[in-house]
Amino acid sequence: MHFILYNLYPWYGMVCVKLSFTFIIIANMYAVIDVETTGGSPAVDRIIEIAVFVYDGEKVIEKFETLLNPNRKIDPWVVKLTGITPDMVANAPTFEDIHQKLYDITRDRIFVAHNVKFDFGMIRQEFKRLGVDYMRKQLDTVNLSRKAIPGQESYSLGTLCDNLNIVLENRHRASGDAEATVRLLQMILQHQSVSRFIDIELRDGLDTTRLPEHLTPAHIEILPEDAGVFFFKDEKDNVLFVEGSKNIRRKVIQEINKAFEHEANKTMLEKMRSIDFELSGNELVSKLATIKYQRTQNPEYNKKIKPINYTHGIFLEYDADGFANLNITTLSKAVEPAVLKFPSRATALKVLNKIITDNQLYAQLNLLKVLKEKGGNLDEFRPRHNIKIENSVKRFLYRNPNFFIVDTGIHPDEHSIVWVENGVYKGYGFYNPEVTSPTVDNLKELVKEDEDSPDTQKLLRQFLRKGKEIKLIKY
């Protein structure tokens, strides 16, 4: 309350201001943090430098900074940006060496950073590798700046510092950026409405005035900041809405805010009585589980998944001379199973043209035609031809037709697996490598069967394309 009075009523006089500020020091202590990393992915990249400034609302009372040995390569663009070279971190401590110090210096303090999702995500992942569940309340000076200092051309730290006359030394080094963030935070705290902004920010963007009537902030606080699926339910425990995310709590808040802003979905908030969740271990499994639950639960406020009526297929057929070819046929007239199925002939034709173009099959088929016309050695050509045709269709969906995607599990000693066989998604499961040997047969038994669909195919293709270091077990 004193914090609010200090910002709303600065005219109360020096005595009142001083008393308010003393209360702030006791109530709010900030750990302002910046990290430099080997790259931009918390899943695979590591921290190479960290700086922490403990700020009491008036002054910095403690400071900690160090280079860190990431035990992996630093991307060249990071070296160029930060000036931190492999030689500089070769003899530096590891994150494990300093993790207790970092844990203690941020304990009972609000974690503040400019783009806090990145810095907190990197640090939380480092702790997770050590088996520690690192949780702190967070403030993002990017979001706070947008509310307290609107109208800026950009809210990058460099541009804000230039426009607000904040001295920023050692740009793109942890200590320099963290110190500038402290000065930015100090300026933000002078804004008369900052207490409400901070309250919303500390609740991961939750504005309590937007909560459904039958839910309280406590319902949100107990939600984990981990990957999984969440369910909005009515008084009869029916699922109104289901979604998956790498951060359940943050995504729940986003969906509540989104529903509040759209009149058509406000009825969902009126019907809501509870929020349930299921952990998944990682974002990919959360999205696959979401597709499954949307199909099986048919929630009222999710986009409806239409039943797929496959009518045509691409078939792998062999002519009288034993040469493979690809043809489109109506499924109702087919004798053999289709390699790929489609809801229309037009879609099948589009995919077939893509397969032929991507694999340069026009040249292959023309060469076969020439050899047949001129009496070439068909026996020698046939094996190479058939392998090329067979592989081209199998690889339309995935580069390898048979594989498991291995990712993080729900528990630290566990892995998740996503199974694809003959280009068809089969389902997902979990295993403990200390208990179960990851042989193909063992992993197959651990997978709960699921249904393949264009949505799962699209999701898996996107995941495999963008993944930096994806672990696959191929067979």
Residue 304 covered by a domain: no
Residues 218 and 197 in one domain: no
Q: Classify strands 110-113 and 138-140 as parallel, antiparallel or unpaired.
A: parallel
What would you report as the CA-atom Rg of the chain, rounded to the nearest whole angstrom? 28
Of the candidates 377, 394, 411, which is a domain's last residue?
A: 394
Q: How many CB atoms lie within 10 A of CB 448?
A: 11
Residues 259 and 329 in one domain: no
User: What pLDDT is recorded for position 468?
Assistant: 63
User: What pLDDT is recorded for position 112?
Assistant: 96
Residues 51 and 185 in one domain: yes
Residues 169 and 216 in one domain: no
User: What pLDDT is recorded for position 413?
Assistant: 77
Q: How far is CA 31 from CA 115, 342, 426, 463, in A?
A: 14, 55, 46, 35
- Tokens found for residue 145: 């700046």
Report the candidate in 291, 282, 368, 287 with the shortest Cα–Cα distance to residue 325: 368
Residues 84 and 183 in one domain: yes
Q: Residues 54-90: pLDDT tens digits?
A: 999 999 999 999 999 999 999 998 999 999 999 999 9
The pTM of the full predicted model, rounded to 2 decimals, is: 0.59
Residue 165 covered by a domain: yes
Report the candidate in 175, 172, 154 with the shortest Cα–Cα distance to residue 66: 175
Of the candidates 233, 264, 297, which is a domain's last residue?
A: 297
- 358 lies in which domain range? 312-394
User: What pLDDT is recorded for position 306?
Assistant: 76
User: What pLDDT is recorded for position 450?
Assistant: 95
Residue 360 covered by a domain: yes
Alpha carbon distance 371, 282 (integer Å): 52
Residues 220 and 263 in one domain: yes
User: What pLDDT is recorded for position 106?
Assistant: 97
Residues 249 and 324 in one domain: no
Q: What residues contact residue 58 under an 8 Å CB cut-off, 6+ apart? A: 21, 24, 25
Q: What is the pLDDT along the chain (475 residues), one digit of tens a residue?
A: 223 322 332 322 333 333 333 333 335 799 999 999 998 877 789 999 999 999 999 999 999 999 999 999 999 989 999 999 999 999 999 999 999 999 999 999 999 999 888 899 899 989 989 999 888 888 999 989 988 899 998 899 999 999 999 998 889 999 999 999 999 999 999 887 778 788 777 776 677 788 888 998 888 878 888 899 999 999 999 999 999 999 999 899 999 988 988 887 889 999 999 999 999 999 999 999 999 999 999 999 998 877 778 899 999 999 988 999 999 999 998 888 888 888 899 999 999 999 999 888 988 888 888 888 888 788 888 998 999 998 888 777 787 889 999 999 988 778 999 999 988 899 999 998 888 999 999 999 999 999 998 899 889 988 998 766 789 999 9
Alpha carbon distance 361, 93 (integer Å): 55
Residue 243 covered by a domain: yes
Residue 302 covered by a domain: no
User: What pLDDT is recorded for position 16?
Assistant: 34
Residue 303 covered by a domain: no
Catalytic residues: 172
Of the candidates 271, 297, 323, which is a domain's last residue?
A: 297
Which CATH number belongs to the domain containing residue 276 in this structure? 3.40.1440.10
Report the candidate in 200, 258, 190, 228 with the shortest Cα–Cα distance to residue 24: 190
Residues 6 and 155 in one domain: yes
> Which residues sit opposite 47 in a β-bridge?
37
User: What pLDDT is recorded for position 13?
Assistant: 33
Residue 244 covered by a domain: yes
Q: How many CB atoms lie within 10 A of CB 277?
A: 18
Residues 216 and 343 in one domain: no
User: What pLDDT is recorded for position 467?
Assistant: 65
User: What pLDDT is recorded for position 207?
Assistant: 75
Residues 375 and 457 in one domain: no
Residues 18 and 97 in one domain: yes
3-state DSSP call for residue 245?
Answer: strand
Q: Strands, DSSP E only, in 237-290?
A: 239-245, 274-279
Which CATH number belongs to the domain containing residue 178 in this structure? 3.30.420.10
Q: How many domains is the chain partitioned into structurally?
A: 4
Q: How far is CA 233 from CA 210, 214, 276, in A?
A: 17, 11, 8
Residues 180 and 235 in one domain: no
What is the Cα 430 distance to its own chain's centre?
19
Residue 176 covered by a domain: yes
